């Protein structure tokens, strides 16, 4: 706190990201990074950008990347927005599309950045409770709102809302923007991008941080009606015209084009997830059904914070949230088979 802070800064409640420890040899299963590296072709494309051309500004519109995304999803480039991580894309969405006086709606257990953006942009919100199985109750969202946002699969539960239910939710709020945050969709869900041509109020966000293994590059995107995309472009061009650097544009574009590598690494993560789920179940854990690259699990008689502390002593870090409703759960990222085995060994060592 300082006398130089504005009242606005004093009131902010910032997001707390998962720890990025500076310790070597940790089994890091706390921030849902991909255990496999990025596409080797994407790395080569980034290396090719590292040179004299860096003296020049990048393409402010990231056309090369928009083209790759549009081709991948069968949409037009006018339906694609790209930004410096999907967190930045989400920030522009909150700023530009949710400020309509009424409350924004999202689940009570969800990505903890949403209430932070509400604080930053002064947006009232209502957190609607998930049901006892930690599923979204679509009927609850059919009420006046300034917008709706939820991750699908949800975070940190990993639970997937079927595309048919996403569509019912859209039909219940035709006059506000519905954002489906698909950070984890490639690990087992069907993307709502299939619906953007029929619902002008639908915006789907994705990130290259999870399924494309480029968390360090900071690239995210949104797909929706050109009018919604134009709103985001107006905000972006009033804030930072060059959110993506030359390496990010080249690497992200090639990551979309290298489908075989993408499909192979997603498949490996999904197979490992199914194995981890069954191994945790054998050890008495209750694991929510996950369509993501992490699982959300609790043990009927062991305290979650205690398990997390015990794992940490053995060099394995997982994520524990203090929020009352989920305080007995651990969110565990799926790692390589060796990392997953290390997790189970650490649990068995008690």
The one segment of 14-22, 68-76, 83-91, 163-171 that binds ligand PLP by CB under 6 A: 83-91
| Nearest distance from C-beta of residue 197 to ligand PLP, angstroms | 24
Query: Measuring CA to CA, which residue among 5, 15, 13, 235 is closest to residue 119?
Result: 13
In what order do the strands lie in the sheet containing 147-151? 80-83, 220-224, 202-207, 178-181, 147-151, 104-107, 125-128
135-141 contacts, C-beta under 8 A, 24 or more apart:
135/159, 135/161, 136/107, 136/161, 136/165, 138/165, 138/168, 138/169, 138/172, 139/172, 141/105, 141/169, 141/172, 141/173
150 lies in the site for ligand PLP, by CB under 6 A: no
Contact of 139 with 133, CB cutoff 8 Å: no
The one segment of 15-23, 81-89, 186-194, 224-232 that binds ligand PLP by CB under 6 A: 81-89
Size of the site for ligand PLP (CB under 6 A): 12
Q: Which of residues 217-256 bind ligand PLP (CB under 6 A)?
A: 220
Of the residues 209, 265, 272, 340, which one makes contact with ligand PLP according to CB under 6 A? 209
The one segment of 60-68, 85-93, 171-179, 333-341 that binds ligand PLP by CB under 6 A: 85-93
Of the residues 30, 107, 149, 181, which one makes contact with ligand PLP according to CB under 6 A? 181
Radius of gyration of the chain from its Cα atoms, rounded to whole angstroms: 20
Which residue number, 119 or 315, has a Cβ lying nearer to ligand PLP? 119
Which residue number, 87 or 258, has a Cβ lying nearer to ligand PLP? 87
- What distance, in Å, lies between the first and last C-alpha atoms of the chain? 42
For the window 101-140, what string marks contact with ligand PLP as x by the rule CB under 6 A? Answer: ----------x-----------------------------
188 lies in the site for ligand PLP, by CB under 6 A: no
| Nearest distance from C-beta of residue 282 to ligand PLP, angstroms | 28
Which residue number, 116 or 347, has a Cβ lying nearer to ligand PLP? 116
Give CA angle at 37 (34, 42), nearest 5°: 120
Of the residues 30, 176, 207, 213, which one makes contact with ligand PLP according to CB under 6 A? 207
Of the residues 30, 62, 86, 173, which one makes contact with ligand PLP according to CB under 6 A? 86
119-123 contacts, C-beta under 8 A, 24 or more apart:
119/11, 119/12, 119/13, 120/12, 120/91, 120/94, 121/94, 121/95, 123/94, 123/98, 123/99
- Contact residues toward ligand PLP (CB under 6 A) are 85-87, 111, 151, 155, 181, 183, 207, 209, 215, 220
């Amino acid at each position: 706190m300082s006398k130089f802070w504005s009242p606005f800064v004093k009131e902010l409640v910032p997001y707390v990201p998962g720890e990025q420890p500076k310790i070597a040899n940790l089994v890091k299963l706390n921030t849902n990074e991909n255990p496999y590296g990025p596409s080797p072709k994407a790395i080569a494309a980034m290396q090719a950008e590292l040179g004299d051309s860096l003296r020049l500004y990048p393409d402010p519109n990231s056309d090369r990347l928009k083209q790759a995304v549009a081709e991948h999803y069968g949409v037009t480039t006018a339906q694609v927005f790209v930004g410096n991580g999907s967190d930045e894309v989400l920030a522009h969405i909150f700023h530009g599309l949710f400020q309509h006086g009424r409350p924004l709606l999202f689940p009570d257990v969800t990505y903890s950045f949403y209430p932070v953006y509400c604080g930053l942009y002064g947006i009232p919100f209502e957190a609607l409770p998930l049901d006892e199985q930690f599923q979204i109750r679509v009927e609850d969202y059919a009420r006046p709102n300034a917008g709706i946002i939820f991750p699908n699969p949800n975070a940190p539960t990993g639970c997937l809302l079927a595309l048919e239910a996403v569509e019912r939710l859209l039909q219940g709020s035709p006059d506000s923007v519905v954002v489906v945050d698909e950070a984890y969709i490639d690990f087992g869900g069907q993307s709502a991008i299939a619906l953007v041509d029929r619902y002008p109020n639908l915006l789907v966000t994705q990130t290259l941080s999870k399924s494309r293994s480029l968390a360090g590059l900071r690239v995210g995107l949104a797909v929706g009606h050109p009018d919604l995309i134009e709103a985001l472009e107006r905000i972006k061009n009033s804030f930072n015209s060059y959110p993506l650097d030359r390496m990010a544009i080249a690497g992200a574009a090639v990551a979309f084009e290298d489908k075989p590598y993408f499909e192979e690494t997603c498949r490996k993560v999904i197979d490992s997830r199914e194995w981890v789920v069954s191994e945790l179940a054998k050890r008495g854990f209750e694991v929510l059904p996950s369509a993501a690259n992490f699982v959300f699990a609790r043990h009927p008689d062991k305290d979650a914070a205690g398990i997390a502390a015990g794992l940490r002593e053995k060099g394995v870090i997982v994520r524990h949230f203090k929020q009352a409703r989920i305080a007995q759960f651990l969110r565990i990222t799926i790692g390589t088979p060796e990392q997953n085995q290390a997790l189970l060994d650490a649990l068995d060592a008690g």
